[in-house]
Amino acid sequence: DTGVSQNPRHKITKRGQNVTFRCDPISEHNRLYWYRQTLGQGPEFLTYFQNEAQLEKSRLLSDRFSAERPKGSFSTLEIQRTEQGDSAMYLCASSKSDSSFITGLAPSEQFFGPGTRLTVL
């Protein structure tokens, strides 16, 4: 399977604990994105990487959240001191960089993983 994979698929934790999620993108994709989806809402952007560089972070990404992408391959998203409001589906997506498109400007398709569902008790 050459799609985007995420682990674990489900995580239940107690309030105050730290959790870490992993995303493995499609191998030739140099962009990696994290989104969060809560019940009844569409996915909301959290952050994205171009290779190993974290280029943008949403205001949704509080100080308790940190994301890394060492060596520009897989990525981890850590939430420290979890709160009940952190309960959500965390989605990872990957894409080629836009410069690979023939038009030079149009965005490349983002391919999404199955998500990690976090429940904070």
Partner 1 sequence: AQSVTQLDSQVPVFEEAPVELRCNYSSSVSVYLFWYVQYPNQGLQLLLKYLSGSTLVESINGFEAEFNKSQTSFHLRKPSVHISDTAEYFCAVTTTPQLTFGKGTLLTVNP
Positions touching partner 1 (CB under 8 A) are: 4, 31, 33, 35, 40-45, 48, 55-56, 58, 91, 93, 95, 98, 103, 106-107, 109-115
Judged by beta carbon, residue 36 or residue 86, the one nearer partner 1 is: 36
Minimum distance, C-beta of residue 24 to partner 1, in the bound complex (Å): 13
Judged by beta carbon, residue 34 or residue 79, the one nearer partner 1 is: 34
How far does Cα 83 stand from its chain's mean position? Answer: 18
Burial of 35 (0-12, 13-18, 19+ CB in 10 A): buried
Q: Are 47 and 97 in contact (CB under 8 A)?
A: no
Judged by beta carbon, residue 73 or residue 97, the one nearer partner 1 is: 97
The Cα 33–Cα 15 span in angstroms is 26
